[in-house]
Amino acid sequence: MAFQRFILGKKNQIALVSAILIAIGFISGLGFKNEEIASWAFILASLFGALPIAIQAYQALRVKVVSIDVLVTIAVLGAFFIRNYEESAIVTFLFLFGAYLEQRTLNKTRSAIKELTEMAPESALKRMDDGEFVEVDVDEVEVGDLLLVKTGAKVPVDGTVLSGEGFINEASITGEAVPVEKRQGSPVFAGTILENGTLQVSADRVGEDTTFGRIIELVEEAQDSKSEAERFIDRFSKWYTPAVLVLAGIVWAVSRDIELAITILVLGCPGALVIGVPVSNVAGIGNGAKHGILLKGSEVIVDFSRVDTMVFDKTGTLTVGNPKVADVALYTNDAARVLAYLASVERESDHPLADAVVEHIGETALYPVEKTDVIRGGGVTAQVDGHKLTVGNVALMEQDGAVLSDQVRADISRFEQSGNSLVLAALDGEVKVLMGIRDQIRPGLKTDLEKIKKLGVKNLVVLSGDNQGTVDRVAAELGLTEAHGHMLPEDKSAYIQDLIARKHTVAFVGDGVNDSPSLALAQIGIAMGSGTDVAIETSDVVLMNSDFGRLPHALGLTKAIARNMRQNIAIAIGVVLALLASVFFSSWMNMSIGMFVHEGSILLVILNGMRLLSYKLT
């Protein structure tokens, strides 16, 4: 048993040694015409590769299962009997390499839970009976405790702000890029980060009951519910392999012709079937890697090719994830001076909208800013170059008595309908600047989505923690089927579960920690490559460099791979049936001719699979 565990634990290394020996065999035979060295290289490669397969076949037979390992073991023994060492070496190597690809996928998936756990808050500043705040382990926090959260710290619980103000980055929960302002009465979530300010928070939910805790739980449940689908070849071999064995036994019992029985065994072992699917997978995965697409295994490919519903996170997926000034209206003949005043005031603010304004204005003259007065929930007023400048939202303009002309009000309405956050600047009581700030849709995205529709995906859905108006705007602009806003991670997961319950094959595309439950729960999880490690490891497909344009190629490629696998299976089974039939119904069929055809079928499925290396979406 210890020896078996040792061998099975070294399958990847054995596959590597087999590959080296196969290369030596071909170089010796074809390059140097040294058949003896070539034969020994193929023999050693076959023995190394067959050892773990034979052990797995033995273990399967012990529990009365005739598995694909039994099929391969018989194929190798048959090839040895007729001294075709080259075939046995290639069969064993490709079988082990396919197993390596599947195991690699499982190992990546298992590490996602660990990554999530490490991101959870570990400590909290808890107010003690003497009124002092003391750092304690987060497990010691109870509902009702008063906690202090400082700039740069993670919020340790789900709770309510009792005092203080600040901006919290809630990307780990909502996936949204713009930090959210928090003040007395505002809700906060565990795992989010306070970018500036200081808050005192009352704990409402702690530990596993927090939103972040539920994210971890959802990922665990989703991964547990996602069992590996049994491959067609495994199902086929459960019936086919025993049938061939019985047929060979019957032939021997009736004819007492051992050579005929062995011929049936050899010809009945579909080497092309064993090789065809791994070749398609390897070639397809190689094409994907060349185009910046990571496909994690053969089952992923088959499931992805059947997707009829694709669900998208918004921020960082459909949009760039970095708020920019999208719309500008100026109501002055001296725009350069007014914008310089505005940049001078906004550069002193740490508000994310102020950063967007400063970035948009760019290099400009700067003026001293005096008598700055921050208006909570509204904006700021200040003296610049002897003028009063008011910067903020519409409510602040009205409160400060600024003049809002009919044109300004019309532009405000237009900007809001476009899903913008508004920044107005009034100089000496008159509005001079109106800016609309929003996250930008990825360039070329609409064209990419049209390609996805043409590939047979009927439903395109966006789910987001953002407000419904913004989500509707994105959906309308991109021609999506459905749009749902104000969705927390558990809402997204519930939506995915409902789609699956209604017999849809669902792919979810996202990039944040908050997306990981949905990525794990959907039949196919697709992560943007610049997203979090957890999202990438939880997913089945990764688009490297967050290039959304790779998604149509990925979908088209998986459909091509699935087609190619079906073709190879049909070729392999067809050739085997033809060979077996010819043994009984022709006088010219013998083992040599059969093996020639057998080798031809193997070459055919390899060449067919290699076509995928040059696949391009038309």
**Residue 452 — φ and ψ, nearest 5°?**
-65, -40
- How many beta carbons lie within 10 A of that of residue 355, not counting itself? 16
Cα dist. 105→5, 52, 220, 294 in Å?
A: 21, 20, 16, 11
- 439's CB contacts (< 8 A; 6+ apart) are 177, 178, 314, 315, 319, 320, 321, 322, 323, 324
Q: Which residue type, as a one-letter code, is found at position 315?
A: T
Compute the distance between CA of residue 436 and CA of residue 415 in angstroms, rounded to an integer: 6
Compute the distance between CA of residue 75 and CA of residue 88 in angstroms, rounded to an integer: 7
138 in Cβ contact with 201 (< 8 Å): no
Cα dihedral 324, 327, 332, 336 in deg (nearest 10): 30
Pairing state of beta strands 524-528 and 541-543? parallel
List 158, 313, 448, 515, catalytic entry: 313
| Helix, strand, coil shares, percent, the chain, to 5 | 55, 20, 25
The torsion region of residue 561 among left (phi > 0), alpha (psi -120 to 50) and beta comes to alpha
Query: Look-up: residue for tokens 């050579």?
Result: 259
Compute the distance between CA of residue 45 and CA of residue 39 in angstroms, rounded to an integer: 10
CA torsion sign, 233 to 244 to 92 to 273?
A: negative
- 582's CB contacts (< 8 A; 6+ apart) are 588, 589, 594
Helix 489-501 with 211-225: angle, nearest 10 deg: 30
Compute the distance between CA of residue 350 and CA of residue 341 in angstroms, rounded to an integer: 17
DSSP string over 337-395: HHHHHHHHHHTT---HHHHHHHHHH-S-----EEEEEEETTTEEEEEETTEEEEEE-HH
Maximal C-alpha separation, the chain: 112
Structure tokens at 204: 């409402």
DSSP string over 188-217: E-TT-EEEEEEEEEEEEE-GGGSHHHHHHH
Query: Look-up: residue for tokens 């997707």?
Result: 307
52 in Cβ contact with 565 (< 8 Å): no
- 539's CB contacts (< 8 A; 6+ apart) are 296, 519, 525, 526, 527
438 in Cβ contact with 415 (< 8 Å): no
Q: Give the up-direction half-sphere exposure of residue 249: CA atoms within 13 A in the CB hemisphere.
A: 6
Compute the distance between CA of residue 88 and CA of residue 73 in angstroms, rounded to an integer: 9
313 carries an active-site annotation: yes
Structure tokens at 190: 């565990």
Catalytic residues: 313
